[in-house]
Amino acid sequence: MPVTLKDVAERAGVSRSAVSRTFTDGASVSAKMRRKVEKAASELGYSPNALASSLTTGRTKLIGLVSNNFHNPIFLEVFDLFTRGLQDRGLRPLLVNLTNETEPDNSVRMLRQYSVDGVVVASSTLPPAFARAFRDADIPVVHSFGRYSSSPQVHVVGIDNVECGRMAARELVKRGYSRIGFLGGPEQATSTQDRFAGFTEELAKHPELDVSHSYATAYSFEAGRAEMQRLLSEGKPIAEAFFCGDDVLSIGVLSAVQDAGLRVPDDVGLIGLNDMEMAAWENISLTTIRQPIRQIIRSSIELVEATLEEPDRYPEARLFPCSVVERKTLRPAP
């Protein structure tokens, strides 16, 4: 039989409430009482029941970790960092898959069933309405990798995707490409829209260039590969270099280009975005724009933790700079 709080109280010769206070953060208990209770608990092998504790404190310490892009390998890194970071702070992540979910209210109802203390929306493709729905339900929320705004309605931590688009355009211009393509993720995703906006804004300064664009159906290897295969099958000259919506799309594009007998970067240049672990693999060696994922996740956890203590905290936007990582999928700059 599992050891109970009552067993510890009897062994220590104290009341059950004294044992409860000993294992409740912030509760008042004397040093002498704490030593007696902890000694008895150690002897009996007792561990506090987190769910029972939540009934006393009104706090579950559950944080809903919400996303919808589980087929993108970058999120293995993201979820690993998020879950370990939350656990290190005594919080418990509850992973929620919202793939194909279109109604924010359904997500709110689901998370309320688990009595979460807060929510992290970890997605650049879920519409901002999802994070706002949690806010409107009085659930503390942080939108990680969300769309930047100078006057955010919820806490947002991420990057300036418009500036990333500009960065990619400048790199391709600097390397002398004259036919330049944008191959983005889903057209309705705000990250795709913002990256494309920055990309075309920068290239508008160079009217002599031939600029094209197309979109994949998802941020996935298969979608990137399929879209490049479609472009190649049209029999028209494709761009000399592409800015792909993210790294996993770029890797799919790389696969299709190589299968067509073309060489990267001699025939086709590629630049991605994220700097996921696979991008550095020797057989890929993708030139990309690094998104500081660790810093974004660390800051998101700090912000959700602060919001639990101060639910009325004014919405804050935290923006992190990106940088180009030079590898082997673009021809060298002159």
Strand order of the β-sheet with 92-97 is 92-97, 62-67, 118-122, 141-144, 155-158, 317-319
User: In the prediction, which pLDDT does 197 show?
Assistant: 97
Tell me the whole-structure pTM to 2 decimals. Answer: 0.82
Calculate the alpha carbon distances from 269 to 145, 163, 166, 250, 310 in Å: 27, 20, 17, 10, 48
Find the mean pLDDT for residues 71-92: 90
User: In the prediction, which pLDDT does 58 show?
Assistant: 58
Which of 104, 159, 185 has its CA nearest to residue 300?
159
Residue 143 has pLDDT above 90, yes or no: yes
How far is the C-alpha of 92 from the C-alpha of 83, rounded, in Å? Answer: 8
Residue 206 has pLDDT above 90, yes or no: yes
User: In the prediction, which pLDDT does 207 show?
Assistant: 96
Q: What percent of the chain has pLDDT over 90?
A: 63
Residue 298: band (very low, low, confident or very high) from pLDDT cuts 50, 70, 90? very high
Instruction: List the CATH code of the domain at 62-159+292-321.
Output: 3.40.50.2300
Domain residue ranges of the chain, discontinuous segments joined by +? 5-48, 62-159+292-321, 161-291
Find the mean pLDDT for residues 193-213: 97
Fold of 5-48: 434 Repressor (Amino-terminal Domain) (1.10.260)
Tens of pLDDT, residue by residue over 19-38, are: 878 877 667 788 888 888 88
pLDDT greater at residue 47 or residue 108: 108
User: In the prediction, which pLDDT does 5 show?
Assistant: 78
Residue 49 has pLDDT above 80, yes or no: no
Residue 250 has pLDDT above 80, yes or no: yes
Residue 55 has pLDDT above 90, yes or no: no
- The SS3 call for residue 195 is helix
User: In the prediction, which pLDDT does 53 show?
Assistant: 56
pLDDT greater at residue 307 or residue 27: 307
- The SS3 call for residue 211 is strand
Pairing of strands 317-319, 141-144: unpaired
Instruction: List the CATH code of the domain at 161-291.
Output: 3.40.50.2300
Are both 62-159+292-321 and 161-291 of the same fold? yes
Name the burial class of residue 212, with classes exposed (0-12), middle (13-18) and buried (19+) by CB atoms within 10 angstroms of its CB. middle
Residue 275 has pLDDT above 60, yes or no: yes
How far is the C-alpha of 245 from the C-alpha of 30, rounded, in Å? Answer: 58
User: In the prediction, which pLDDT does 56 show?
Assistant: 55
pLDDT greater at residue 69 or residue 168: 168
What tokens were used for 199?
A: 């990309």
Mean pLDDT for the chain overall: 90
pLDDT greater at residue 140 or residue 2: 140
User: In the prediction, which pLDDT does 101 show?
Assistant: 72
Residue 115 has pLDDT above 60, yes or no: yes
Residue 289: band (very low, low, confident or very high) from pLDDT cuts 50, 70, 90? very high
How far is the C-alpha of 92 from the C-alpha of 231, rounded, in Å? Answer: 45
User: In the prediction, which pLDDT does 135 show?
Assistant: 92
